[in-house]
Amino acid sequence: MAENSVLNIAKNADTASKKLASITGNIRDKALMALAEALESGKSEILNANKIDLDNAQAMLDRGEITKSVYNRLKLDENKMRDMIKGVVDVYNLEDPVGKILMQRSLDSGLILSKITCPIGVIGVIFEARPDVIVQISALAIKSANAVILKGGKESLNTNKKIMELIQEALLKVDGFPENVLSQIYSHEEVAEMLRQDKYIDLMIPRGGNKLVNYVKENTRIPVLGHADGICHIFVDESADLDKAKKIIIDAKTQYPSACNSVETLLIHKRFMRRETLLSQLEKAGITLIYEPEDWHKEYSDTILSVKIVDSLEEAIEHINEYSSGHTEAIITEDRLNAAMFMNMVDSSGVYHNASTRFADGFRYGFGAEVGISTNKTHARGPVGLDGLTIYKYKLQGNGDIVSDYVEGRKQFHHKDLI
Amino acid sequence: MAENSVLNIAKNADTASKKLASITGNIRDKALMALAEALESGKSEILNANKIDLDNAQAMLDRGEITKSVYNRLKLDENKMRDMIKGVVDVYNLEDPVGKILMQRSLDSGLILSKITCPIGVIGVIFEARPDVIVQISALAIKSANAVILKGGKESLNTNKKIMELIQEALLKVDGFPENVLSQIYSHEEVAEMLRQDKYIDLMIPRGGNKLVNYVKENTRIPVLGHADGICHIFVDESADLDKAKKIIIDAKTQYPSACNSVETLLIHKRFMRRETLLSQLEKAGITLIYEPEDWHKEYSDTILSVKIVDSLEEAIEHINEYSSGHTEAIITEDRLNAAMFMNMVDSSGVYHNASTRFADGFRYGFGAEVGISTNKTHARGPVGLDGLTIYKYKLQGNGDIVSDYVEGRKQFHHKDLI
């Protein structure tokens, strides 16, 4: 077996994660600063590596193998480098997510139970073209004391390799910071191998399209955090304000049509009187309206919008719970009771009243950093910040305490919360 | 397709879960009271049904097909019925886990984000012989506003059917409480079918042996909450107090040897001076000591204990992180720094200092009710109470707010926490 087989990478990451759990937040913060400095001083090396990727991508673009938007996301420049470095400093400035006391309870005199946040362990992240993701995820992993195995897009191979090389070099010099906290794999075969390492990898985060997320979910026993589709809905209720509806729908559809939190389907109450006016305003704003039921499952990623007229609030809720991907949905209404009913009964990570679905984002929510957006209904849901990279353990401090004393009635629990 | 196919059961449970999300805690509490009363008034019917199961089990016991302990767990009597009913009342008395505000933040003037607990949706529970589990899980599901599909052990088929029939009848009479919140399936084929319903079922909780848990994990895309093994360790450090060590190990091994939180492997520091005395005290207490490395993976469920001498605290931690099932581990030491290092570096749901591993239990932790014990490292870890049956959603209250105002600099987020 090769030295750097995925099994060995995963084992080493596991060992690193155990060591990470015992070092202070101070050492992790030093590692983050070293990372930021490495990017700063390695800027021209990174841009040179990126140039190679861009030349290859240009050829692929010319052959029609990739789209212009993939090319653009791949491209680094001084501005993007500055944003990347600022992103690391932002993560540095966040509160340490590890070691927070979530609960502390005296079970009995001298028997103290504490529920304390801790890292998850080893996280596998698969992402597509954007090379800035490697920096963002590395920073989040270090801050939250998790080891991470990264697989980037093949289009950004040279950029990713160079960034990782510079980061690794810098981390080696940080006193007390364990090795193998970050590692990288490159091929599809290695991804398949990574998905089998459920003994060592605790969480998979695929950041990319529907196909990638489904492939990961189908092929692993490891818990998966992410979202496959972003089929978001806006419901214009009977009492909706026309101007709010227009503003919000145009924002949610046209501000960044390929974002996962863009709206795909518009539901309109049959008794909303300004329907024709609203629809013609949307068309004037450059939105193509489609009335085909076979499109209700579709994520357009374009300025195209499905429209359906519904008989009632209930029908709107049922439609959404059937066709939505559980990401984010909004109701436009002046009726507070209808808004409350919509927000309680729609089963999505975000339920909005008179606001654009485009607000679904970790930075807009004020999380400081975002791991991704989850449509899961366990662990973490919606935009996920550092909290989503932690779990907790229970620490029990006794002094020779045994259960038989309680089972046999010699002692009783008193269960007093200390914080 | 049959009316009651598992697909239909899952679809109906999904519909029920959406309705459950919109009713008040008050209606859910009324349902719990109705459930408790149904058990009270149906006591003799339940005991009669249990008699049929017990007669069948007696024949199986005679043929050696089941163990005496399975038979005992199957048996209901007046005392167990009283405990079952009390358990429902205990759940009734717990705080409503739904609708708690976890965070409330003003993103900007008039744009309020709230993170609010909500039910997960539909939960599948597979359990073995004990018929009281059906009551416990039903009560927890109702309290947490989740729909649940139950599959009990075949040994308790008649008891489970009767209990479910009485509960269903009682719930039908509760005003505003939706139908199909609870449903039951019976065969292995139906279980296989249930595991394919990842469109409708959000969480699987297998409560049973290693084989069951692994079968479920291997055969579904639905997240699984539970624990396969309970391989717990106690490490006797160099500075351990002999009396505490003796008391704790005897409790952790003999108080209930088949429990998942019983100790299986004892690690002793080579410089712990009272080793021979300790080991002979353990043997006097009826514990069989085994020194074979091939047993380090073994859950004995008996008064048998693996013993290994280790060179250091570090070796003990490494051994545990390699062989433990991540359930609960204890260190016996008078050295606070060693205890802290053990508790930080051992990657298990419970890490104890000078206390018996047998404390790992929802009731002992003061949770009031227990769904099960999880060795997962996402969502919920350790003993899981009602909290583990909830997730959260983000509600955003606006007044026509759009993202382009922020992207184009006309407005800025102020991110002020309101609670």
Same domain for A206 and A94, yes or no, is yes
Q: Give pLDDT, residue A1.
A: 44
From B323's Cα to the closest Cα of chain A, the distance in A is 11
Is residue A248 located within the same domain as residue A207? no
Measured between alpha carbons, how far is residue B202 from residues B148, B208, B318 in Å? 10, 19, 35
Kindly state the average pLDDT of the residues A360-385.
Answer: 93
Are the CB atoms for A9 and A185 separated by under 8 Å? yes
Q: Residues B179, B172: contact at Cβ < 8 Å?
A: yes
Q: Are B378 and A379 inside 8 Å of each other by CB?
A: yes
CB-based contact, B112 to chain A, within 8 Å:
no
Q: What CATH number is attached to the domain comprising A198?
A: 3.40.605.10
Sheet of B122-127, strand order: B182-185, B147-151, B122-127, B203-207
User: Looking at the complex, does the CB of residue B244 fall below 8 Å from at least one CB of chain A?
Assistant: yes
Query: For residue A270, is it within any domain?
Result: yes
Contact status, residue A282 vs residue A249, Cβ threshold 8 Å: yes
Calculate the alpha carbon distances from A154 to A67, A158, A205, B171 in Å.
15, 9, 18, 57
First and final C-alpha spacing in chain B = 51
Contact call for A347 and B18, based on CB within 8 A: yes
User: Looking at the domain assignment, is residue A378 inside a domain?
Assistant: no
Rounded distance, CA A87 to CA A140, Å?
A: 10
Q: Do A34 and A64 reside in the same domain of the chain?
A: yes
DSSP string, B281-292: HHHHTTPEEE--
Return the CA Rg of chain A. 25
% of chain A at pLDDT higher than 90: 90
Q: Chain A residues with CB inside 8 Å of B400's CB?
A: 241, 243-244, 247-248, 354-355
Segment A118-132, tens digit of pLDDT: 999 999 999 987 888
CA distance linking residue B332 with residue A399, whole number of Å:
9
Closest residue in chain A to residue B405, using alpha carbons only = A251
Does residue A113 lie in a domain region? yes
Query: How far is B166 from chain A, CA to nearest CA, in Å?
Result: 29
Three-state secondary structure call for residue A222: coil
Assess if residue B416 is contained within a domain. Answer: no
Q: Report the 10 Å Cβ neighbour count for B82.
A: 13
Residues with Cβ within 8 Å of A387's Cβ and at least 6 positions away in sequence, in order, are A97, A380
Instruction: Measure in Å the smallest separation between the Cα of A63 and chain B Cα atoms.
Output: 34
In a domain, A384, yes or no: no
A-chain residues within 8 Å CB-CB of B353? Answer: 395-398
Nearest to A394 by CA among A154, A185, A111: A111
Asked if residue A404 belongs to a domain, the reply is no
* Residue in A120, A355, A400 closest to B396 by CB: A355
pLDDT tens, residue by residue, B34-55: 999 999 999 999 999 999 999 9
pLDDT at B60: 94
Query: In angstroms, rounded to a whole number, what is the distance separating the alpha carbons of residues A182 and A134?
Result: 10
Given this model, what pLDDT does residue A229 score? 86
Asked if the Cβ–Cβ distance from B243 to A350 is below 8 Å, we say no
Task: Give yes or no for a contact between B156 and B208, defined as CB atoms under 8 angstroms apart.
Answer: no
Q: Does A350 touch chain B (CB under 8 A)?
A: yes
Q: Full-prediction pTM beyond 0.90? A: yes
Q: Determine contact, residues A253/A330, Cβ cutoff 8 Å.
A: no
Residue A4 is predicted with a pLDDT of 65
Contact A288, A264 (CB under 8 A): no
Task: Tell me what the mean pLDDT of segment A270-275 comes to.
Answer: 98
CB B332 within 8 A of CB B236: yes
Q: What's the mean per-residue pLDDT of chain B?
A: 95
DSSP codes, B165-200: HHHHHHHHTSTTPPTTSEEEE-SHHHHHHHTT-TTT
Of A22, A252, A349, the CB nearest to B393: A349
Mean pLDDT value across residues B180-206: 96
| Paired residues of B396 in beta bridges | A352, B113
Of B202, B383, B400, the CB nearest to A244: B400
CATH number of the domain to which A258 belongs: 3.40.309.10
Confirm or reject contact between B413 and chain A (CB < 8 A): yes
Which pLDDT band, with edges at 50, 70 and 90, does A69 fall under? confident
Q: Using a CB-CB distance cutoff of 8 angstroms, which residues of chain B are in contact with residue A353?
A: 395-398
What stretches of A346-419 show up as alpha helix (H) in DSSP? Answer: 404-407
Of A113, A358, A402, the CB nearest to B251: A402
Decide if A244 and B399 are in contact by the 8 Å CB cutoff.
yes
The pLDDT of residue A367 is above 80: yes
Bridge partners (DSSP) listed for residue A396: A113, B352
Strand partners, B111: B108
Residues A171 and A313 in one domain: no
Decide: A263 and A232 in contact? Cβ < 8 Å: yes
Q: What's the whole-number mean pLDDT along residues A391-395?
A: 97
Shortest distance, CA A55 to any CA of chain B (angstroms) = 31
A109 and A43 in one domain?
yes
Encode pLDDT of A283-337 as tens digits. Answer: 999 999 999 999 999 999 899 999 999 999 999 999 999 999 999 999 999 999 9
Tell me whether strands A416-417 and A101-108 are parallel, antiparallel or unpaired.
antiparallel
Q: Are residues B83 and B202 in the same domain?
A: yes
Residues B241 and B295 in one domain: yes
Cβ within 8 Å of residue A5, ≥6 positions away: A193
Q: Establish if A217 touches chain B: CB-CB under 8 angstroms.
A: yes
The predicted structure's pLDDT at residue A319: 97
Domain boundary among A359, A391, A410: A359
Yes or no, beta carbons of B217 and A221 under 8 Å apart: yes
The answer to whether residue A311 neighbours chain B at the CB level (below 8 Å) is no
Asked if A270 has any chain B CB less than 8 Å from its own CB, the reply is no
User: Any idea which of A184-198, A382-396, B204-218, B244-258 has the lowest mean pLDDT?
Assistant: B204-218
DSSP per position, A224-252: B-S-S---EEEEE-TT--HHHHHHHHHHH
Query: Do residue B381 and residue A404 have CB atoms under 8 angstroms apart?
Result: no
Number of domains in chain A: 2
Q: What distance lies between CA A194 and its chain's CA centroid?
A: 20
Quickly tell me which residue has 């999380």 as its tokens.
A367
Helices A78-93 and A25-41: crossing angle in degrees, nearest 10, is 170
pLDDT at A68: 87
Tokens of A171: 């981390």
| A249/A224 same-domain check | no
The Cα–Cα gap between A274 and A284 comes to: 15
Residue B293 has pLDDT above 60, yes or no: yes
The residues, any chain, with a CB within 8 Å of residue A415's CB and separated by 6 or more, are A105, A106, A107, B366
Strand pairing class (A122-127; A147-151): parallel
- Identity at A32, one-letter amino acid code: L
DSSP line for A88-143:
HHHHHHSPP-SS-EEEEEEEETTEEEEEEEEE--EEEEEE-S-THHHHHHHHHHHH
Q: How confident is the model at residue B227 (pLDDT cuts 50, 70, 90)?
A: confident
- pLDDT of residue A149 exceeding 80, the answer is yes
Query: Which residue type is seen at A333?
Result: T
B335, B359, B383: which is the final residue of a domain?
A: B359
User: How distant is the Cα of B2 from the closest Cα of chain A, in angstroms?
Assistant: 22
Least Cα separation, residue A357 to chain B (angstroms): 8
The Cα–Cα gap between B250 and A21 comes to 31
How far, in Å, CA of B334 to CA of B341, rounded?
13
A2 touches chain B (CB under 8 A): no
Q: Residue B92's pLDDT is what?
A: 96
Q: Could you say which of A228, A252, A267 is where a domain stops?
A: A228
More reliable by pLDDT, A2 or A417 = A417
Indicate the Cα dihedral angle A284, A285, A286, A288, nearest 10°: -80
The answer as to whether B403 is a domain residue is no
Q: Environment class of residue B190 by beta-carbon count within 10 Å: exposed (0-12), middle (13-18) or buried (19+)? A: middle
For B343, nearest residue in chain A (alpha carbons): A395
Q: What DSSP line would sit under B237-281, residue for residue?
A: -TT--HHHHHHHHHHHHHSSTTSTTSEEEEEEETT-TTHHHHHHH
d(CA B316, CA B327): 16
pLDDT computed for residue B1 by the predictor: 44
* Partner-chain contact B347 A21, CB within 8 Å: yes
Task: Inspect the interface and report whether the beta carbons of A120 and B377 lie closer than 8 Å.
Answer: yes
Give the distance from residue B223's alpha carbon to the nearest chain A alpha carbon, in angstroms.
7
Q: Is residue A395 part of a domain?
A: no
pLDDT of the residue at A175: 97
Q: Is B360 on the interface with A (CB under 8 A)?
A: yes
Answer yes or no: do A280 and A352 share one domain: yes
pLDDT band at B4 (very low <50, low <70, confident <90, very high): low
Q: Is the pLDDT of residue B2 over 90?
A: no
d(CA A266, CA A405): 63
pLDDT value, residue A86: 95
Q: Which domain holds residue B118?
A: 6-225+371-392
Distance CA B378, CA A224 (A): 10
What pLDDT, on a 0 to 100 scale, did the predictor assign at position A209? Answer: 83
* ipTM for the complex shown: 0.94
CB A258 within 8 A of CB A293: no
Q: Are residues B37 and B75 in the same domain?
A: yes
Q: How far apart are CA B164 and CA B176, in angstroms?
A: 20
Residue written as tokens 């199909």?
B180
Give residue-wise pLDDT tens across range B373-409. Answer: 999 999 999 999 999 999 999 999 999 999 999 999 9
Amino acid at position A135, single letter? V
pLDDT single digits (tens) B112-140: 999 999 999 999 999 987 888 999 999 99
- What is the residue type of A121? G
CB pairs under 8 A between A and B: 231
The mean per-residue pLDDT over the stretch A83-91 comes to 95
Neighbouring CB atoms inside 10 A of A419's CB total 8
Give CA torsion, residues A187, A188, A190, A195, to 10 deg: 150
Asked whether residue A168 falls in the same domain as residue A35, the answer is yes
Q: Are residues B58 and B73 in the same domain?
A: yes
Cβ contacts of A343 on chain B, cutoff 8 Å: 395
Cα(B412)–Cα(B419) distance, integer angstroms: 21
Residue that has been written with the tokens 């433990």 in this structure: B324
**Cα angle B346, B350, B355; round to 5:** 100
pLDDT digits 0-9 by tens, A151-200: 999 899 999 999 999 999 999 999 999 999 999 999 999 999 999 999 99
